[in-house]
Amino acid sequence: MLKPKMPVRLNAAEETLIAQLTGAGDSAQAERLSVTGLPTRRVESYHYTDLKMLLKSVPPLVGAANTASAPALRLAGAYRLLIANGEPQASATAPAGVIVGSSDGAALSVHDDVLVRLNTAFAKKSLSLTLEGTVDPIIQIDRRTEGTAAHSASSARIFVADDSSATILETYSGSDEAHLTNNASYIAVGRNAQVTHITVDLSSDGVTHFATNEYVLAEGAKLRTLAIHAGSALARTQIFAKFAGEGAHADIAGLNLVDDGQHLDFTLDVNHAVPNTTSQEVFKQVGRGRSKAVFQGKIVVARDAQKTDAKMMMQGLMLSDQAEILSKPELEIYADDVVCGHGSTCGELDADSMFYLMSRGISRAEAETMLVRGFLKEVLDPIEDAELNEALTAVVDDWLVGGK
């Protein structure tokens, strides 16, 4: 006879989330969370990011934004759209090929993931974007959580039309409070469209930042992504990418800049669902102080997805003895005519290179900075827009010289 399953012992964060779900009218999700609790390391996709242990408290649900801090990253010439405290704000007249609107509810597809479910429950409005033709200015979605510490959810749904091209930059920041933010982006890339999508977390030290980026690629679509963690105490960006049309290609990259006391996580799920698609995943992690950087990446090749070419690599660089860099790349291959592979490396700065630079009169700190910049070039150099590349390089430089 099977023993009845013991109820989960809830912590303060779980109890608050359940109360907030109930207040938001989502009794089904409240009941589910009360039974399962937040994921622990026993849940494979959260093996290195045990939310039950890491998430100690949840602030009150966010209210309307009454104040506005300055953008954490300002890009001259970009068309900026603001989402403040989860609500899309009024915007300036849109440039040619850009249709801006909003819709009720969240934007993500259904996934068996607690952060997706919570975003769906709490994101009441989604920014809606349709991009057509060659969109000239960079589209910047500036997501900010203002005021006192709050739990905020935001959502954006973006459709890039067939044969179109666009560059989208999303930045996350806000007031210097212990916010909990849960953000979602759904991007459908049309047939033969070309999209660059960059996300940068610049939140303050006390913030817990969650983001889910979901991509669906049609036939012949080309996607380049770069996600950067350079803020928050606890952060997790999870990426779901589905190849739905033949000839689609994606370059998916991430950069974890992890400092003392931080726990920053990238989790990746790439689904090659049809034949003749290609992808390359490159993630870099740099840790200093007593910090933890996490990468979990999975590539799934469906039974019918013959001629898939997919390669994944994680490279970690430890700048202190206390830094932890954790990596778990995976392949699930059900087709037999594929070229797939994954790799993972981790180490310290090369002693010979350090000696060479210092022997030329360069200080240890500057030599270290030069070598780290060289290590990161692989994920920054493919960003072709010069001003955007310069802005992202400045984010890296600020982190390098602004250690805790």
**Nearby residues of 112 by Cβ (< 8 Å), 6 or more positions away:** none
Whether the predicted pLDDT of 299 surpasses 90 = yes
- Give the pLDDT mean for 72-78: 89
Residue 298 lies in a domain: yes
Residue 342 lies in a domain: yes
Q: How many CB atoms lie within 10 A of CB 264?
A: 29
d(CA 134, CA 96) in angstroms, rounded, equals: 9
Weakest mean pLDDT among 60-74, 102-116, 343-357: 60-74
- Give the pLDDT mean for 124-129: 94
C-alpha pair distances (Å), 32 with each of 146, 380, 384: 30, 41, 45
Token output for 369: 């900075």
Looking at the structure of the chain, the number of domains it has is 1
- Domain housing 276: 74-349
d(CA 240, CA 216) in angstroms, rounded, equals: 9
Residue 393 lies in a domain: no
Q: State residue 153's pLDDT score.
A: 97
- Give the pLDDT mean for 333-361: 90
Closest CA to 231 of 273, 178, 169: 178
**Nearby residues of 167 by Cβ (< 8 Å), 6 or more positions away:** 135, 138, 139, 195, 196, 197, 198, 385, 388
Q: Residue 352 — pLDDT band, cuts 50, 70, 90?
A: confident
Mean pLDDT of the chain: 93
Residue 390 lies in a domain: no
Residue 294 lies in a domain: yes
Q: State residue 307's pLDDT score.
A: 97
Whether the predicted pLDDT of 205 surpasses 60 = yes
Q: State residue 351's pLDDT score.
A: 86
SS (H, E, C) 224-288: EEEEEECCCCEEEEEEEEEECCCCCEEEEEEEEEECCCCEEEEEEEEEECCCCCEEEEEEEEEEC
Span 132-169, pLDDT tens digits: 999 999 999 999 999 999 999 999 999 999 999 999 99
Span 242-262, pLDDT tens digits: 999 999 999 999 999 999 999
Residue 293 lies in a domain: yes
Residue 309 lies in a domain: yes
pTM across the whole model: 0.94
Residue 398 lies in a domain: no
Whether the predicted pLDDT of 4 surpasses 80 = no
